[in-house]
Amino acid sequence: MADTVLEVRNLKVAFPCSGGVIRAVEGIDLDIHRGECAALVGESGCGKSVSALAIMKLLNTPPAVCRADKLQLDDLDLTHLPDRQMERIRGKHMAMIFQDAMTALNPVMTVGKQIDEIYLRHSRLSRREARQRTIKALELVGVPEARSRANSYPHQLSGGMRQRVLIALAFACVPKLIIADEPTTALDVTIQAQVLDVLKNMQQVHGVSALLIAHDLSVVANMADTVYVMYSGKIVERAAMQELFVEPLHPYTHGLLASVPRISDDRQPFVQIPDAVPHPMRKPTGCYFHPRCPRSSDQCQQRMPRLESLDHEREVRCWHPLRQPHEVRS
């Protein structure tokens, strides 16, 4: 499809370590269209960050082992691209926003210099021109007094301001794709909403495609068009945001949704999915979710279900989804 900005096929990441292999990502497929915001949602440790880093080709190999049948960014085939050429693409065509801006910014360099660097790297600008762009970029994400703030060190800014700096950094070259790895989890709830607004605004103004990573659905609800639900290294459900909210099909998604507290809905008590994610080195047989699943059967314990499409734009990996494929919705 010409309109696909990111196409990932069968992405696998493993970490060999003493006592076994951690299979962090077990063959995921992603398709993100132009201007679309896709969300990757799942509990802590399910492999979201590792997937993001693998797409950016930022994992250190070794120790990580990465495989993908296809990794295509717009018209660029990244599947077997050597590191030297990846350096020209990172920052310019694809960028990443990290979770904790405090640790993601170099503590001994002013934030302005850190943004200058990306302009100096990817366009033929003088230092002066780069700094002017930097100030503009900071103004765009709502940093007041951008000119003087550019000379601050990260620790001199508030958490929200730092996260804005990271957003400015990611959008600096207006890339084709932005990956935001839990961009707000390190922030206070009130600041979270502001930063998400900035992110959403930037994404829509520039028409950039985005992959937004989060561990619960409430964060992505206002922003994402499509949602990929990930569990223990595998995609278990894919659906448009609206449909997923109306009708989750995978028991895990159902649990995730039920654990989002909703003000309007006080009939159901706050539900928590029991137990924890399986240890990445000792995953259960069959469906990885079966020890925690209320619908699990013998079949679930023996064989891993495939990711089947339902309707046209939905996929689910479950033997007993909440609605069977043949049931046609009105």
Identify which range of 61-69, 154-162, 265-273, 313-321 contacts ligand SF4 by CB under 6 A. 313-321
HEC secondary structure over 16-84: EECCEEEEEEEEEEEEEECCCEEEEECCCCCCHHHHHHHHCCCCCCCCCEEECCEEEECCEECCCCCHH
Local structure of residue 136 (DSSP, 8 states): H
Can you give the binding site for other proteins, defined by CB under 8 A?
53, 56, 58, 83, 87-92, 95-96, 98, 100, 103-109, 114, 117-118, 121-122, 153, 155, 166, 169
Nearest CA-CA partner of 292 in 5, 24, 27, 46: 46
- Pick the closer one to ligand ATP by CB: 118 or 227: 227
Q: Could you tell me the two tokens for 305?
A: 């279900």
- Pick the closer one to other proteins by CB: 34 or 122: 122
* Pairing mode, strands 94-97 and 4-17: unpaired
Q: What is the DSSP string of 261-313?
A: --SS--SSPPP---S-PPPTTSPPSSSTTGGG-TT--HHHHH-PPP-EEETTT
Contact between 51 and Mg ion (CB under 5 A)? no
- Pick the closer one to Mg ion by CB: 170 or 249: 170
- One of 30, 49, 212, 273 touching Mg ion (CB under 5 A): 49
- One of 11, 28, 41, 49 touching ligand ATP (CB under 6 A): 49
Long-range pairs for 9-12 at CB < 8 Å and ≥24 separation?
9/68, 9/69, 9/70, 9/71, 10/67, 10/68, 10/69, 10/70, 11/51, 11/54, 11/55, 11/66, 11/67, 11/68, 11/71, 12/66, 12/67, 12/68
- Pick the closer one to ligand ATP by CB: 48 or 234: 48
Q: Could you tell me the two tokens for 314?
A: 């939905």
Contact between 251 and ligand SF4 (CB under 6 A)? yes
Q: Which of residues 51-90 bind ligand ATP (CB under 6 A)?
A: 63
Contact between 103 and ligand ATP (CB under 6 A)? no
Q: Which of residues 281-310 bind ligand SF4 (CB under 6 A)?
A: 287, 289-290, 293, 295-296, 300, 305
Contact between 216 and ligand ATP (CB under 6 A)? no
Nearest CA-CA partner of 294 in 265, 244, 254: 254
Residue 320 binds which of ligand SF4, ligand ATP, other proteins, none (CB < 5-8 A, kind-dependent):
ligand SF4
- Pick the closer one to ligand ATP by CB: 112 or 280: 280
- Pick the closer one to other proteins by CB: 25 or 89: 89
Residue 142 binds which of Mg ion, other proteins, ligand SF4, none (CB < 5-8 A, kind-dependent):
none
Q: Which of residues 224-253 bind Mg ion (CB under 5 A)?
A: none
**Helix/strand/coil for 227:** strand
Interacting residues with ligand ATP (CB under 6 A): 15, 17, 22, 24, 42, 44-50, 63, 215, 280
Interacting residues with ligand SF4 (CB under 6 A): 251, 287, 289-290, 293, 295-296, 300, 305, 318-320
